[in-house]
Chains A and B, each alone.
Chain A
């Protein structure tokens, strides 16, 4: 499973999260994002979750108001990608407790951190939900909270 990119966007086509597992220059990224939102948002409901775009397979799924969309190599397993997307949603859900779009908007860096513990370089890094949750918790412990940050004197 070699994921090329993962995008989260809303029904209005607003990007909520983007992760590029292979580096691309800004211009190309924008083109991909535009094409993806156009293609995916144009799909009628209850149609199949796979599309072809250039030489990539595009797998997308809608969760509530958010579309999760990723690009795969031609030989990759689409169903597995769907499961990866679902697993990510589950992880978000566990972390935020009934995740909604606003959680991801306001804590977008957390969403990235969770993703980084789950996927790396487009590969599934950890298949166990428990382990992912544990490592996120542990690194969060290291991080100061916003209140601490505000009350700390500056040097």
Chain B
């Protein structure tokens, strides 16, 4: 016994511990594998000993070796032994080894159940902790089932250390053993109120993860989480909760509305980028799915935030900014499109991931207007790009961008062909086939371009570099396939077929891949036919024919000897044909016609639906037997077969569904709309794009036919750059023409005073007319094809609805012409706000002052606006019920100002400033007709002050009113925008105005008038601008900053909320926050800097403010005071 003891001790002195092992491995760099195998042998010996400490040491070393990539599964049982040691040191080691090496397939796991249960119930909390930690890594369905109850009990353990671990591991248990969720959930929910923040956050974690898997079941918890979100200050927890709401909002649109304020507050006040990013993501997600009106505010904030992120110096943040933008882009392309330059800049970034993100974004951003510019930029990058992967990515993206939605954005196909030709000069690209297929597609489908395409392709065939050595392997020679086919197929456009034929029969061609050579031979035959056709015309061409025949008989044998069967066969056929023709020619037989006939007929693309549309000929019954069915066999097992056959006739295919007339008419209408909006679908009766017509509201003006302004033939290889210029000029000319037309229209229709801004504004998307009379050839349909697209649509087709929906949305887009120019600058316009008091109307209406906190981004799409208005209406009703008691808790609400009178429209308005134009403010007014009469001829007028003037169209007097460009049927609302120019922004001001309109009811019409007041506050001129603390410090030091201060007493809000409120309502951003003291910054549209220092002690808030304009500052502080006195 004693001897054994001594022996054990001595052994251990020579044992290697972990440190020795690591050192040993480092010392045996050359023969590491050999060293480790001896170590493993030693470990095996150690594991055989009974001494548990030796075993634990061995297991520790094994864990290390496992990390180096060695298999230790053979020691699984020993690990279990060490786990079951009563000593914490060894137990810990054992569990670590188990968590590192066990997986679902490890069979010894089932031996551990009782051991783990014992550890879970151990009086030592660290034993329990270690067991829980280990279990979280290797929990299996069996273990979950057996231990679920024990773990559930641990969720109510006295020690928070155990509670939080137990709560977290419950999630794993739920995944492996879902039945445990129901009994455990109440207790899990309880943990949300746990006094220990760690346990609470663990519970939030688990519920969030559960809710992300199946949000529907967790909607009822939303109020609870909402409370947590507004009270929690732990960013880790906040992020989780916000993520949870991100999963819930798609199911419950009302949530989005509710969330918007706390989210915006967070966005403005947090300094944690990760939290900010999560908020942005959630707002975007909520927007994407629900389209709820409330979140549109958030979106505008988000878009500008994303831009802010993209300017970040940190590449990671930049990347995320782009990522978030691409999410916004999916639903709200307009708000991202304006940042094109920023995204193009990102293409220059060093970081490839950022460049790829930017490329992705560009794909969604192109429009007819900017396509050329963007592609030009990309082409520059193609030239500069290092590394073929990135360059190939660029190439595919260029082609994707151009060809998306059926070449929707290409206005000039000559330009596109020349881009493709330029791309062929790329060295070492793998995407030759992609370019080739594009060339073929365009040449076949765009008839007008064929002449140009052929001339370019002929040049390509002629140019040597494509043939030269190493390029072939990489696949760019695929382009030659397309070039040869295009030249052959459309040989009538070739200027000099003989020359092209020569180029195609050069000996070097035989080095090309077989399938390309085959195309060469076949198309050489087509070219030959073209030469023969020309040859009939005169003697000079006759000589050319002779030469050609000579050329062919000389060169074709090369191809006849080709190893490629296809080439060989085609070449020998062709050679025989040539020889035969030669004979006939010598006999002076004219063969041109016959040879041409070989290749006659035009190849047109066939529509995918064509087959379905072939009408069934009369008298053909596909279900009828052609021959009499075989006589029914009598035997029993045969009968069972026939029983199966009997079922079939029960479900005959109904090809022609009965569709009622109404439905048909509706679909036809939809289709017409769709076609009208498709620039490539040119119909004789409506030559101009529809959107354009709508803008003008005059359909009877003949549209002037504009000549082709682009020369169709460009000598030499075309360069795409040239087209950019040409295109610009063309568009300019177009615009001029349109301007003239508009003038004409003006004269004719003096009464209709449309929205003049349209003309001065930048060209809207719809206005761009494709160059040339390029149309994509309509795909071929069989003769007598069924007339309608829709009739034979499968009613069960799940995509049918989707198709209808898409066509609807596309028709709606251009129907928004008045906004064309507005949206252009609205993108940069920052929302301001006004406090409009709608004054006493002459009809004895009471007026109310309402704090108006809502700003509405103009970017939002039509649907959203409609909803928003509805919501306003609802609020309106609610307020009426409350007997016009100003609704304090709804201060964040949408309300701006209303007139409550049964017969009048309700103007609700909203002011927006434009950052780029320091003196322009856009006021959006929503008119809502709550009466039962029809309102028309609405005229809006405002009494200009010295400072603020309503911008009226040129030629109008300074007191003329502006007509509202719509009429209002009962119960309908619509929005109009008015532009004001503002001189000084240091003072708040009120403008008086009137709205006159005609009320038309059954018993006649009357003229009515409504007075209102527009209130421009100073805060509405501020824009939220971020500021860095060093810049802020410098700003404070500068001499021309004037100070002022204010005191607010009895503010019951927590400091965090107070800050958020200032930021939210007054457009400030937090620069720095220390305890109950924070510095804030904002900037006016005219560039005044405003700095605030907010201190908070015992319900008293001191605001020290500095600004370079003292009166602005004074007014601003008054407004801030007002905000807090109202609440």
Once the chains are docked, how many angstroms separate the CA of A142 from the CA of B17?
20
What is the interface of chain B mostly: helix, strand, loop, or mixed?
Answer: helix
A21 proximal to B (CB < 8 A): yes
Residues of B near A21 (CB, < 8 A) are: 136-137
A116 to chain B, nearest CB (A): 4
| Cβ-defined contact, A17 with B243, below 8 A | no
Once the chains are docked, how many angstroms separate the CA of A127 from the CA of B274?
15
The 7 closest A-B pairs by CB, nearest first: A154-B8, A79-B274, A47-B351, A48-B315, A48-B319, A23-B103, A121-B136
Residues of B near A126 (CB, < 8 A) are: 164, 198
| Cβ-defined contact, B320 with A78, below 8 A | yes
B278 proximal to A (CB < 8 A): yes
As a 0/1 sequence over residues 102 to 118 of chain A, the CB contacts with chain B under 8 angstroms (1 = contact) are 00011011001100100
As a 0/1 sequence over residues 65 to 107 of chain B, the CB contacts with chain A under 8 angstroms (1 = contact) are 0011101010000000000000111001100100010111100
Q: Beyond the given A1-B239, A79-B317, could you list 5 further A-B residue pairs with CB under 8 A, ordered by the A residue number? A: A23-B103, A24-B103, A50-B320, A125-B164, A125-B198
Residues of B near A23 (CB, < 8 A) are: 102-104, 137-138
A10 proximal to B (CB < 8 A): no
| Cβ-defined contact, B67 with A15, below 8 A | yes
B18 proximal to A (CB < 8 A): yes
A77 to chain B, nearest CB (A): 5
| Cβ-defined contact, A77 with B5, below 8 A | no
A89 proximal to B (CB < 8 A): no
As a 0/1 sequence over residues 4 to 39 of chain B, the CB contacts with chain A under 8 angstroms (1 = contact) are 010011001100011100100000000000000000
| Cβ-defined contact, A152 with B53, below 8 A | yes
Once the chains are docked, how many angstroms separate the CA of A47 from the CA of B1003?
74
A36 to chain B, nearest CB (A): 14
A23 to chain B, nearest CB (A): 4
Which residue in chain A gives the minimum CB-CB distance to B92? A143
Size band of the interface chain B makes with A: 35 or more
Residues of A near B569 (CB, < 8 A) are: none
| Cβ-defined contact, A124 with B236, below 8 A | yes
Residues of A near B259 (CB, < 8 A) are: none
A64 proximal to B (CB < 8 A): no
Residues of A near B13 (CB, < 8 A) are: 150
Which residues of B (190-249) have their CB < 8 Å from a CB of A? 197-198, 201-202, 205-206, 209, 212, 234, 236-237, 239-240, 243
B1076 to chain A, nearest CB (A): 22
Which residue in chain B gives the minimum CB-CB distance to A30? B69
A99 proximal to B (CB < 8 A): no
Residues of B near A142 (CB, < 8 A) are: 88-89, 124, 126
A14 to chain B, nearest CB (A): 8
B51 proximal to A (CB < 8 A): yes
B820 proximal to A (CB < 8 A): no
| Cβ-defined contact, B103 with A17, below 8 A | no
Contacts A15-B67, A23-B104, A154-B5; is A2 near B209 (CB within 8 Å)? yes
Of B165-173, B803-811, B1047-1055, the segment with at least 4 beta carbons within 8 Å of chain A is: B165-173
Once the chains are docked, how many angstroms separate the CA of A78 from the CA of B78?
39
As a 0/1 sequence over residues 310 to 352 of chain B, the CB contacts with chain A under 8 angstroms (1 = contact) are 0000111111100000000000000000000000000000111
| Cβ-defined contact, B316 with A82, below 8 A | yes
A55 proximal to B (CB < 8 A): no
| Cβ-defined contact, A47 with B136, below 8 A | no
B905 proximal to A (CB < 8 A): no
| Cβ-defined contact, B320 with A125, below 8 A | no
Residues of A near B69 (CB, < 8 A) are: 15, 30
| Cβ-defined contact, A47 with B350, below 8 A | yes
Which residues of B (775-797) have their CB < 8 Å from a CB of A? none
A41 to chain B, nearest CB (A): 15
B161 proximal to A (CB < 8 A): yes
B273 proximal to A (CB < 8 A): yes
B242 to chain A, nearest CB (A): 9
Q: Which of these, A79, A128, A150, contacts B320 with CB under 8 Å?
A: A79
| Cβ-defined contact, A49 with B92, below 8 A | no
A115 to chain B, nearest CB (A): 9
Q: Which of these, A26, A44, A50, contacts B319 with CB under 8 Å?
A: A50
Residues of B near A124 (CB, < 8 A) are: 201, 205, 236
Contacts A18-B67, A23-B103, A125-B164; is A75 near B133 (CB within 8 Å)? no
| Cβ-defined contact, A108 with B53, below 8 A | no
Residues in chain B within 8 A of chain A (CB atoms): 5, 8-9, 12-13, 17-19, 22, 51, 53-54, 60, 63-64, 67-69, 71, 73, 87-89, 92-93, 96, 100, 102-105, 124, 126, 129-130, 132-133, 136-138, 161, 164-165, 168-169, 171-172, 197-198, 201-202, 205-206, 209, 212, 234, 236-237, 239-240, 243, 273-274, 277-278, 281, 314-320, 350-354
Q: Which of these, A15, A30, A139, contacts B88 with CB under 8 Å?
A: A139
A123 proximal to B (CB < 8 A): yes
B456 to chain A, nearest CB (A): 38
Q: Which of these, A1, A75, A113, A128, contacts B92 with CB under 8 Å?
A: A113
Residues of A near B236 (CB, < 8 A) are: 80, 124, 127
| Cβ-defined contact, A131 with B198, below 8 A | yes
Residues of A near B165 (CB, < 8 A) are: 120, 125
What is the interface of chain A mostly: helix, strand, loop, or mixed?
Answer: mixed
Once the chains are docked, how many angstroms separate the CA of A126 from the CA of B5?
44
Total count of chain A residues near the partner, CB < 8 A: 56
Residues of B near A152 (CB, < 8 A) are: 53
What would be 17 A-B contacts, judged by CB atoms less than 8 Å apart? A23-B138, A48-B315, A50-B353, A75-B243, A79-B273, A79-B274, A80-B236, A106-B18, A124-B236, A125-B202, A135-B129, A139-B92, A142-B124, A150-B13, A154-B8, A155-B5, A155-B51
Residues of A near B354 (CB, < 8 A) are: 47-48
Residue in A44, A80, A112, A154 whose Cβ sees the most chain B Cβ within 10 Å: A154
A54 proximal to B (CB < 8 A): no
Q: Which of these, B18, B71, B315, contacts A109 with CB under 8 Å?
A: B18
Once the chains are docked, how many angstroms separate the CA of A21 from the CA of B134?
10
| Cβ-defined contact, B71 with A26, below 8 A | yes
| Cβ-defined contact, A46 with B164, below 8 A | no
Contacts A109-B63, A113-B92; is A138 near B212 (CB within 8 Å)? no
Q: Which of these, A49, A83, A123, A144, contacts B89 with CB under 8 Å?
A: A144
Residues of B near A139 (CB, < 8 A) are: 88, 92, 126, 129-130
A6 to chain B, nearest CB (A): 12
B42 to chain A, nearest CB (A): 17
Once the chains are docked, how many angstroms separate the CA of A125 from the CA of B203?
10
Residues of B near A128 (CB, < 8 A) are: 197-198
A129 to chain B, nearest CB (A): 12
| Cβ-defined contact, A48 with B205, below 8 A | no
| Cβ-defined contact, B19 with A106, below 8 A | yes
Residues of A near B212 (CB, < 8 A) are: 75
A133 proximal to B (CB < 8 A): no
A97 proximal to B (CB < 8 A): no
Residues of B near A2 (CB, < 8 A) are: 209
| Cβ-defined contact, B234 with A127, below 8 A | yes
| Cβ-defined contact, A50 with B316, below 8 A | yes
Residue in A20, A109, A121 whose Cβ sees the most chain B Cβ within 10 Å: A121
Residues of A near B277 (CB, < 8 A) are: 77-79
Residues of A near B317 (CB, < 8 A) are: 79
